Chain A
Amino acid sequence: MDHMPSWIRRHLAAVRALVVLTLVTGALYPLAVTGVAQLLFDRQANGSLIERDGRTVGSAIVGQSFTDAAGKPVATYFQSRPSAAGDGYDMLSTAASNLGPEDVVDTPGRASLLTQVCARSRAIGEREGVSGARPYCTPDGVGAVLKVFPVAGRPVRAVSVNQPCPATPFVAEYRGVKVECARPGEDYAAGRTVPVRGGVTQAAVQVPADAVTAGGSGLDPHISLAYARLQAPRVARERGVGVDRIRALIREHTTGRALGFMGEPAVNVLELNLALDRS
């Protein structure tokens, strides 16, 4: 070894160090952790799987869609949050939407995040028999956004950019200018973007925040207590059970904050739906 140039010796040492450390941290260590985990905590280590009638139906910590083959919500089940993972709750392509907080203008082929929120709110409102109205949303469930021309100064033209013609714009007038519907194909990028809040106050919103947004993993196993309560009357009606019984089940499947201060209270949708089927 000693007659080799020092740089070769150094790189040989590097190779050998990497091999040794790979054996320790890349083989012995994960195998040891796996051994202990499988021996003592095999349920968690294998994904907290839930079985029914001897068949695995899901994981207690991974959400799933409760929709039929056509993608329509099954009315007898509580519904999960929207999901950006594949076609929804796809564990092979987990994802968040990654759309920004000012993503408010629809483009051909992609609805803006605001329009997605408004459309979900409207659909859930209809499904649960409550108002789906929320701030910055039009009554027909798209983002209430104007493109105003010119960018600065007195407006001479205003377009409700998410309402393609022949829709009726959600407002007739903006600062003395008649609001037009959006002509498909016309480029409104040069205008100033003006989201319009409208008259709906936050207190009047009936569809909760988690119901209209996609989670981080696309596999969120939980919904908020508020969203579960919103769905209770519909599930009770569809199953022909008293709504009190459903509310009791919601309470049973609500996880509080860990140690009283970590995270938020959450309702596990799969476990709740399984409990519904049992009762």
Chain B
Amino acid sequence: MAALFIGALVVALALVHKPLGDHMYRVYTGVRHSRAERVVYRLVGVRPEAEQRWPVYARSLLAFSAVSILFLYAFQRLQDKLFLSLGLAPVPDHIAWNTAVSFVTNTNWQAYAGESTMGHLVQMAGLAVQNFVSAAVGMAVAVALVRGFARDGADTIGNFWVDLVRGTLRVLLPIAFAGAIVLVVGGVVQNFTGPHAITTLTGGTQHMTGGPVASQEVIKELGTNGGGFYNTNSAHPFENATSWTNWFEILLILLIPFSLPRTFGKMVGQVRQGYAIAAVMGVIALASVTLTTVFELHGAATVPQAVGAAMEGKEVRFGVANSATFAAATTLTSTGAVDSFHDSSTPFGGMMTLFDMMLGEVAPGGVGSGLYGMLVLALITVFVAGLMVGRTPEYLGKKVGAREIKLASLYFLVTPVLVLAGTAVAMANQAGLAAMLNTGPHGLSEILYAFTSASNNNGSAFAGATVNTPWYDVALGLSMAFGRFLPIVLVLALAGSLARQTPVPESAGTLPTHRPQFVGMVVGVTIILVALTFLPALALGPIAEGLS
């Protein structure tokens, strides 16, 4: 059954990636602007034909993100003054800051419980909007990097405003609309009612909650965001009502990340290069999904053994195997939505979710961020291979020189520094230590998970940790911001320097980057880099727990 469930996902992705990948290729390379888009550009006050050099592209992106953070912060602080607030109080300052950064960085780490903190208006016109645009920002950066490979002696890498608007209106919005209706059919709610009391069968009281959930749920998965409308995210029946909506939500999570390599291949004029990248992602993803499922089904730990299955924190309609697939999909991408609670997973099942994120979320990764992360790893791989044979490495005809490899290395170093330094600082002070719900190695795992999730912009949690304190809200907010924008600036710089180059012709010594050999090398480099970086931390957390 588990194999069929995963197999059906693979088949669906195989069927969909081509039309969607080709559609995105047309979206990002087309020269025509629709009438609606022209209106948007006029309202925004930008000239869509103007191409931007990388520093301008980066500044536009940062300006948009900074404005978004300020706006979302103010929105939460003022929610009681606006309509549809359900009578909820303004969000406390540290939680509002954390949440604003979290949603703008595509992390969707949640230091709050949706049903008791956010009114419908903030959810719909604040948080869900960032679900769209933060995803569009990720795709824009990926496309800009691909233009770097595709262009020949060019100064510019595209126009940020055009990429942002097109990604939102032409890619995300149509799929989200159709997907939302599908979810409603399955039972996901879509209304504007506030909590209202009903009397249960035995005379108790239950407060039925409502909200525009389906419209937010679909973009939460499609944009690999992950912030739940309710506290229990995709485990909540109103967010994920049936076993088939569960499958559909996993498909939405993987849809764009697995289609973008096709877009990449088309843009660089060699579809097979895209398939090589998709193959790297696929190999790692399948291995991770399989291992997570096996660990969870095997259930090796005291409580799962006493129970007879790792059912704590899991819903009956999904079962253990499908919950494991969801857990792997959500951490392999930058989603962080959950349909089961990872804190209660088996030690090695929980470790897989951590490891997936530590891979840098590249298999297939977040929308856009997965592709640019994987392309950076491909550059590092050709560099390593070049060192072995003693010649200047090149990828897609572009030389990987000192500047390129410096940018790629810095890119790779950002998240490990944030994760390990953040965890270390948390472990060294009382405010940090106080957060642990569980004790021993599992307590360390909770904190390590928090910083891994925030720095990699995932947003899932070992949710037992009490992270809605000022200390954590500030620390994790900073991790999310640096973890998102430092790599983005480095990638855009890389795009600029690649675009300037004139491609060198292929020679006998060129490493072919579309063959299984190269796919295997990138997989190896990815896993070895991560293993070397994070193994000591993992050994103190989940591995110690699993082996004890």
Binding site for B on A (CB under 8 A): 1, 7, 9-18, 20-22, 24-27, 29-30, 32-34, 36-38, 40-41, 44-49, 55-69, 74, 77, 81, 85, 89-105, 113-114, 117-118, 134-137, 143, 193, 195, 197, 202, 205, 208-210, 212-224, 255, 257-259, 261-264, 266, 270, 273-274, 277
B440 adjacent to A102 (CB under 8 Å): yes
Report if A25-B317 is in contact (Cβ < 8 Å); known contacts: A10-B63, A45-B189, A99-B343: no
Partner of A21 from the list B66, B168, B204, B345 (CB cut-off 8 Å) is B168
Contacting A at CB under 8 A, from B97-120, are 113, 115-116
What is the number of residues of chain B that contact chain A, defined by CB distance less than 8 Å? 121
Question: Which chain A residues lie closer than 8 Å to B59 at the CB level?
Answer: 7, 10
Report if A61-B344 is in contact (Cβ < 8 Å); known contacts: A91-B195, A95-B232, A222-B317: no
Partner of B64 from the list A9, A18, A100 (CB cut-off 8 Å) is A18
19 contacts between A and B (CB under 8 A): A14-B66, A17-B64, A20-B44, A24-B168, A25-B133, A33-B184, A41-B181, A56-B198, A64-B201, A98-B344, A98-B464, A99-B464, A100-B343, A101-B347, A117-B307, A134-B307, A197-B305, A216-B323, A263-B243
A213 adjacent to B115 (CB under 8 Å): no
B4 adjacent to A261 (CB under 8 Å): yes
> Least Cβ distance of B84 to chain A in Å?
11
Report if A222-B243 is in contact (Cβ < 8 Å); known contacts: A13-B161, A33-B215, A41-B185: no
Q: How far is the CA of A181 from the CA of B459 in the complex (A)?
A: 43
Q: How far is the CA of A218 from the CA of B233 in the complex (A)?
A: 11
Partner of A30 from the list B188, B210, B212, B347 (CB cut-off 8 Å) is B212
Question: Which chain B residues lie closer than 8 Å to A7 at the CB level?
Answer: 59, 63
Question: Which chain A residues lie closer than 8 Å to B126 at the CB level?
Answer: 26
Question: Which chain A residues lie closer than 8 Å to B231 at the CB level?
Answer: 93-95
A216 adjacent to B129 (CB under 8 Å): no
Partner of B313 from the list A22, A91, A92, A96 (CB cut-off 8 Å) is A96
Q: Which of B4, B236, B340 counts the most chain A CB atoms within 10 A?
A: B236
A99 adjacent to B344 (CB under 8 Å): yes
Q: Does B287 contact A (CB under 8 A)?
A: no
A20 adjacent to B40 (CB under 8 Å): yes
Residue of A nearest to B61 (CB): A14
Binding site for A on B (CB under 8 A): 1, 4-5, 8, 40, 43-46, 59-60, 63-64, 66-68, 71, 113, 115-116, 124-126, 128-129, 132-133, 161, 164-165, 168-169, 173, 176-177, 180-181, 184-193, 195, 198-204, 206-210, 212, 214-216, 219, 230-232, 235-238, 241-244, 246-247, 301-319, 322-323, 338-341, 343-347, 350, 437-442, 445, 462-464, 545, 548
Question: Which chain B residues lie closer than 8 Å to A262 at the CB level?
Answer: 5, 243-244, 246-247, 322
B60 adjacent to A14 (CB under 8 Å): yes
> Least Cβ distance of A45 to chain B in Å?
4
Across the A-B interface, the 10 shortest Cβ-Cβ residue pairs? A263-B243, A216-B235, A98-B464, A264-B319, A101-B301, A26-B125, A96-B341, A258-B244, A136-B306, A222-B316
> Least Cβ distance of A134 to chain B in Å?
6
Partner of B302 from the list A63, A104, A212 (CB cut-off 8 Å) is A104
Report if A103-B308 is in contact (Cβ < 8 Å); known contacts: A14-B63, A259-B244: no
Question: Which chain B residues lie closer than 8 Å to A47 at the CB level?
Answer: 189, 191, 208, 210, 238
Residue of B nearest to A76 (CB): B202
Report if A44-B187 is in contact (Cβ < 8 Å); known contacts: A37-B181, A262-B5, A266-B317: yes
A102 adjacent to B347 (CB under 8 Å): yes
B207 adjacent to A90 (CB under 8 Å): yes
Question: Which chain B residues lie closer than 8 Å to A193 at the CB level?
Answer: 548
Q: Which of B44, B316, B318, B322 counts the most chain A CB atoms within 10 A?
A: B316
Question: Which chain B residues lie closer than 8 Å to A223 at the CB level?
Answer: 316
Residue of A nearest to B340 (CB): A216
A64 adjacent to B303 (CB under 8 Å): no
A20 adjacent to B173 (CB under 8 Å): no
Q: How far is the CA of A9 from the CA of B214 in the complex (A)?
A: 36
A45 adjacent to B214 (CB under 8 Å): yes
> Least Cβ distance of A255 to chain B in Å?
7
A30 adjacent to B124 (CB under 8 Å): yes
Q: How far is the CA of A209 from the CA of B181 in the complex (A)?
A: 34
A217 adjacent to B128 (CB under 8 Å): no
> Least Cβ distance of B43 to chain A in Å?
5
> Least Cβ distance of A98 to chain B in Å?
3
> Least Cβ distance of A132 to chain B in Å?
12
B128 adjacent to A57 (CB under 8 Å): no
Report if A91-B173 is in contact (Cβ < 8 Å); known contacts: A33-B214, A37-B214, A258-B247: no
Report if A22-B125 is in contact (Cβ < 8 Å); known contacts: A58-B201, A97-B312, A98-B344: yes
Report if A45-B191 is in contact (Cβ < 8 Å); known contacts: A14-B66, A37-B181, A135-B306: yes
